[in-house]
Amino acid sequence: MKRFLILAFLLAAQPAFANHPGERIDEVMTEQEPAFEVADHPSTPNLGVEKSGGDVLRLGDLHDQIIVLSFVPRNCNSPCAKQQAALAGVQEQVNVSPMKEMVTFVTVHDTDTSIEAPWDDANWRLVIPSNDETTAAAADRFAALSSRGQELPMAYVIDRNGRHAGLFHGAEFQKTNMTLYINGLINNAHAPKPPAKEEWWEWLTGWF
């Protein structure tokens, strides 16, 4: 039943994004989602993080994955809690589709902060900064990618080639918009030209 509900949401959004995939992905998303910002950079700032148990995680290790990166510094409190819940909602939409195997969500936090959002551990990595850096310091370095200022929280979307593609501000963005943006990046990585409108229908109905 849940899959059909999410399919209905995406079908409702689809007319507004009929030309969304392909080269116009940033343009259309900017028109449709106020929280979205194009932040096209060939790479991301260096980020040293480690998983529980001390295993180092490098973004480059997530080869051929779309990465959705977020930070939960201490004292962020409600804004970060709301953002994590929204991102977990995006993950829920992603994970009922074939995209589940192509997208990894990464949350960086300090050891004295808790994450209570309903994440699916299958493609979510909860990590802490390494090299004695605080989450706030790492978040500030990534916030410099934005031209709108440094107000946190932000969620950073990195494409399958390691390019920082765009970011979503706060927690009020439409979850379906981020899901469609992620799908657009996946399509762009494999298609030399924008897919036809009919291909969206094939992608959506291919879930079932």
Q: Which comes out higher in pLDDT, residue 114 or 92?
A: 92
What is the dihedral angle through the alpha carbons of 174, 176, 180, 185, rounded to the nearest 10 degrees?
A: 60
Percentage of the chain modeled with pLDDT above 70: 80
pLDDT at 172 over 50: yes
Residues 6+ apart with CB under 8 A from 195: 21, 22, 187
User: Of the given ranges (103-107, 113-117, 164-168), which has the lowest mean pLDDT?
Assistant: 113-117
Domains and CATH numbers, the chain: 2-205 (3.40.30.10)
pTM for the full predicted model: 0.82
pLDDT at 64 over 90: no
- pLDDT tens digits along 142-153: 999 999 877 879
Residue with tokens 């994955």: 65
- pLDDT tens digits along 11-36: 444 444 444 446 789 999 999 999 99
Q: Which two tokens stand for residue 185?
A: 């990046």
Q: Which residues pair with 36 in a beta bridge?
A: 168
What is the dihedral angle through the alpha carbons of 172, 31, 151, 161, rounded to the nearest 10 degrees?
A: 100
Q: Are 183 and 103 in contact (CB under 8 A)?
A: no
Residues 6+ apart with CB under 8 A from 56: 48, 49, 50, 130
Q: How confident is the model at residue 51 (pLDDT cuts 50, 70, 90)?
A: confident
Output the pLDDT for position 17. Answer: 45
| 3-state secondary structure at position 78 | helix
What is the average pLDDT score of the chain? 84
* CB burial of residue 78 (10 Å; 0-12, 13-18, 19+): exposed
Cα-to-chain-centroid distance, residue 190: 19
- Burial of 120-139, coded b for 16+ CB within 10 Å and e otherwise, reads eeebbbbbbbeeebebbebb
Q: How confident is the model at residue 203 (pLDDT cuts 50, 70, 90)?
A: low
| 3-state secondary structure at position 28 | helix
